[in-house]
Amino acid sequence: MDFLPIFLNVSNQPCLVVGGGSVALRKTILLHRAGANVHIVSPSLDEELQALLQQQKITYHAQPFEPGHLTGCTLVIAATNDHAVNRKVSESAKASNIPVNVVDNPDLCTFIMPAIVDRSPLMIAISSGGQSPVLARLLRARLETLIPHAYARLASLAAQFRQQVKQHFAQKENRRLFWENVLQGKFAEMVLAGKDQSAKIHLQKLLENKKDDAPAGEVYLVGAGPGNPDLLTFRAMRLMQQADVVVYDRLVSPEILEMVRRDAARIYAGKERNRHTLAQESINQLLVRLANEGKRVLRLKGGDPFIFGRGGEEIETLTSHQIPFQVVPGITAASGVAAYAGIPLTHRDYAQSCIFVTGHLKNNSIDLDWSSLARPNQTIVIYMGLLGLPVLCQQLIAHGLPSSTCAAIIQQGTTQTQKIVTGSLDTLPNLAATAQLIPPTLIIVGEVVRLHQKLAWFEPD
């Protein structure tokens, strides 16, 4: 995060704009809408700024900028086409600890002006840190189409009940739950449909009938997919924003963890091979304890909870303690990683079946049903098999698969660090060792791997 996103109250505060052209006009209008007392320093003004001056909406100083113009200012914006003047404004403001923005020059700024979606009192600011203003503007245009203007009324009506709700619910968690339900329910729909008065009556009835009981706990078992945050489901995103606490594994990417509700407590459960921060039974009991405390618990797992994710064990424990829970499937590594590697798991010409196995080593051996794996026209997908790759390949060859059978190993599939190594059962272990791959990886064995060169479409830098 290069800039701290904040909203600054400049109502009735003196704010300085240096410049008298079209760019200065845009910044002046924005500051005026925020209630600022706008002062402009410039040897001349364009016609539209002259009109604002005649309407007594600005104070004008018809002279070149001098540091003394900053006295008493809350913030300053430099909007001239003279780099030397802009630099002088920036240096003078910084020397006086006054926030300064120099238009189109983030190196001279201590704050930047975002693209704004205005649904006052609801405000959305989008910024690229000055690196790509056009991208920020395009995102703003997209949000403008997604967020109805009626959200302004929705925020204002909710504000009218805020104090009443606070008095009704002594427990903070109950207040938050109440508002989450209200703003996603019938009240919001009424406001968006223009039925403001009916919405008020409905909200008042909801408030009168809602008790301030201790909140009920619940567990959300959510699959986070193979790593790319774009592959999360809508339901996963919604529950990630509702949770009070998140218990997450090592395979949950930082980008996905950032999408969890900001003030949710976070507990790392580990789940790295042979090194678990919490044992599985401890995790099971932790989920029970947190739910019994009235928490909404997000159990966030890489991939899918029910495919080598021990989700079944966790909800068995929850069921035995009568803890309510929801399960949200995720895109498992087999389908997600294979798709991003351009390797279809089934194909009419190469494979009519697919089997998933886990490649964890125990005592230097892997206890798998090799005869059922080493079959023609079948794709084998091996989770967590990097360390045991030589043994896996040897055993598949020993049980009947030709040593020339195509095989691939994919590192951190679907992400920008995706790396693919292809070869045969005979060559893949050495190729993977040379490539110095790191977990998590996925191994795919079968003739479908031949299609990788032809179908590969995702090529991260």
17-26, 173-182, 188-197: segment of lowest average pLDDT = 173-182
- Asked if omega into 121 is within 30° of 0 (cis), the reply is yes
Report the catalytic residues: 249, 271
- CA torsion sign for 225, 228, 233, 235 is positive
Instruction: Output the DSSP codes for 327-391.
Output: EE----HHHHHHHHTT--S-BTTTBSEEEEEE---BTTB----HHHHS-TTEEEEEES-STTHHH
Mean pLDDT of the chain: 93
Question: Is the pLDDT assigned to residue 461 strictly greater than 90?
Answer: no
Residue that the structure tokens 């930047």 belong to: 112
Is 190 annotated to bind a ligand? Reply is no
Question: Is the pLDDT assigned to residue 184 strictly greater than 60?
Answer: yes
In order of 6, 36, 37, 122, 243, the CA distances from 129 in angstroms are 13, 24, 26, 22, 30
Q: Distance from first CA to last CA of the chain, Å, rounded?
A: 22
Question: Is the pLDDT assigned to residue 361 strictly greater than 70?
Answer: no
Q: Do domains 14-113 and 151-209 have the same CATH topology?
A: no
Of residues 219 and 172, more confidence is placed in: 219
How buried is 360 (Cβ within 10 angstroms: 0-12 exposed, 13-18 middle, 19+ buried)? middle
- pLDDT tens-digit readout, 308-351: 989 999 999 999 999 999 999 999 999 999 999 999 999 999 99
338-455, superfamily in CATH? Answer: Tetrapyrrole methylase, C-terminal domain (3.30.950.10)
Question: Is the pLDDT assigned to residue 190 strictly greater than 90?
Answer: yes
Fold classification of 218-331 (topology level): Cobalt-precorrin-4 Transmethylase; domain 1 (3.40.1010)
In order of 359, 408, 411, 426, 457, the CA distances from 338 in angstroms are 17, 10, 11, 21, 11
- pLDDT tens-digit readout, 394-420: 999 999 999 999 999 999 999 999 999
Is 223 annotated to bind a ligand? Reply is no
- pLDDT tens-digit readout, 20-57: 999 999 999 999 999 999 999 999 999 999 999 999 99
**Residue 363: per-residue pLDDT:** 55
**Residue 365: per-residue pLDDT:** 62
Is 219 annotated to bind a ligand? Reply is no
Domain limits, the chain: 14-113, 151-209, 218-331, 338-455
**Residue 215: per-residue pLDDT:** 73
Beta-sheet strand order (sheet of 296-301) = 265-270, 245-249, 296-301, 218-223, 325-328
Is 226 annotated to bind a ligand? Reply is yes
H or E element in which residue 115 lies = strand 115-119
Is 68 annotated to bind a ligand? Reply is no
Instruction: Output the DSSP codes for 151-211.
Output: HHHHHHHHHHHHHHHHHH--SHHHHHHHHHHHTTSHHHHHHHTT-HHHHHHHHHHHHHH--
How buried is 68 (Cβ within 10 angstroms: 0-12 exposed, 13-18 middle, 19+ buried)? exposed
Is 307 annotated to bind a ligand? Reply is yes
**Residue 392: per-residue pLDDT:** 94
Task: Label residue 364 by pLDDT band (50, 70, 90).
Answer: low
Is 277 annotated to bind a ligand? Reply is no
H or E element in which residue 422 lies = strand 419-424
Is 304 annotated to bind a ligand? Reply is yes
CATH of 14-113, one of 3.40.640.10, 1.10.645.10, 3.40.50.720, 3.40.190.80: 3.40.50.720
- Nearest of 337, 338, 330 to residue 224 by alpha carbon: 330
| Cβ within 8 Å of residue 231, ≥6 positions away | 225, 330, 331, 336, 414
Which stretches of 188-287 are assigned E, i.e. beta strand?
A: 218-223, 245-249, 265-270
Question: Is the pLDDT assigned to residue 115 strictly greater than 80?
Answer: yes
Is 330 annotated to bind a ligand? Reply is no
- pLDDT tens-digit readout, 376-385: 999 999 999 9
**Residue 170: per-residue pLDDT:** 86
Is 329 annotated to bind a ligand? Reply is no
- pLDDT tens-digit readout, 237-287: 999 998 999 999 999 999 999 999 988 999 999 765 555 568 899 999 999
Collapsed DSSP state (helix, strand, coil) of residue 77: strand
Q: Which two tokens stand for residue 125?
A: 């600011």
CB 379 within 8 A of CB 355: yes
**Residue 192: per-residue pLDDT:** 92
Question: Is the pLDDT assigned to residue 168 strictly greater than 70?
Answer: yes
Is 44 annotated to bind a ligand? Reply is yes
- Give the integer Cα–Cα distance in Å for 97 and 90: 10
Question: Is the pLDDT assigned to residue 2 strictly greater than 90?
Answer: no
| Phi, psi (degrees; rounded to nearest 5) at 385 | -115, 10
Domain 151-209 has CATH 1.10.8: yes
